[in-house]
Structure 1
Amino acid sequence: MGAWGNRNFDNDTAADHLSMITGRLLKEITEAMSGDPEEIEPDEYWGVAVPCNVELLYRLAELSYVGVMLPTPEVATGWKRQYLAVWDETIDELVSSAEHRAARRAVLVETFDRLIDAARRETE
């Protein structure tokens, strides 16, 4: 086992483990985004879980651990566009407060943008 430090993620086995975890997150997002758009509506499981997985990915990437798997910036940008299109189309039926809609949408935009930024840094 190769090690480059004393922290929990400073060795080859930990990097492999992190790769498996982030790979699973990517797979879940990919499958949700390639399925029926109804499944990513804001009141559906994947409508909630996709942004959670996106945030987990970018937060792990921000820690600069070896083994974090990210989508390409283009894929992440496509996910953002697709997710927000579904969200925009369906949210009015679910939330009456314009303030809540605007605040939640801003969080979603930031979440995807941070993943896109992390993916860009990864490709540099």
Structure 2
Amino acid sequence: MGTWGAGNFDSDTAADHLAEWVDRLVGEVTGAMGGDPVELEPDEYWGVAVPCNLELLVMLGERGWVGVTLPAAGVIRGWQETFMAVWERSIDGLGPKPAYKAERRAVLNGTFERLAALAEEAAAG
């Protein structure tokens, strides 16, 4: 077992722990994307939790810690397509104000894009 620094994530054990947590976040998103699309609607649990998981993955990916392995950018963009299609066809039923709708759309797309960019960076080495 190796330790390469004094930081909380600077050891093999910490990297293994982080990898398990990342796998859980990715697994939850993968499951939600493959499940009932109704569960991805903006007022449903996974419609809220998926973007939260993605944001956490972005934050972890930006840190560059060992143990953070992101899905391929193509997978993330597929998630984006699926998620945003559900969002677009269901958001109006909730009666959002136009400004909120535009801002939320930008935030959601931005989160997917930031994560895909990190995945591309990681793949490029």
Partner of 1:25: 25
Partner Cα distance (2:95, 2:70) in 1: 32
1:7-86 aligned at under 5 Å gives the runs: 7-86=7-86
1:28-76 Cα deviation digits (max 9, x unpaired): 0000000011010000000000000001001101001000121111100
Partner Cα distance (1:104, 1:95) in 2: 13
Structure 2 gaps of 5+ residues are none
Q: Percent identity?
A: 54
Partner Cα distance (2:20, 2:96) in 1: 40
Pair 1:96-2:100 in alignment: no
Cα offset, 1:122, TM superposition: 1.1
Flag as ranges the 4+ runs of structure 1 deviating above 3 A.
none
Partner of 1:121: 121
> TM-score, normalised on structure 2?
0.97
Partner Cα distance (2:95, 2:15) in 1: 41
Partner of 1:5: 5
Structure 1 gaps of 5+ residues are none
Partner Cα distance (1:47, 1:77) in 2: 16
| Number of residue equivalences | 124
Cα offset, 1:96, TM superposition: 3.0
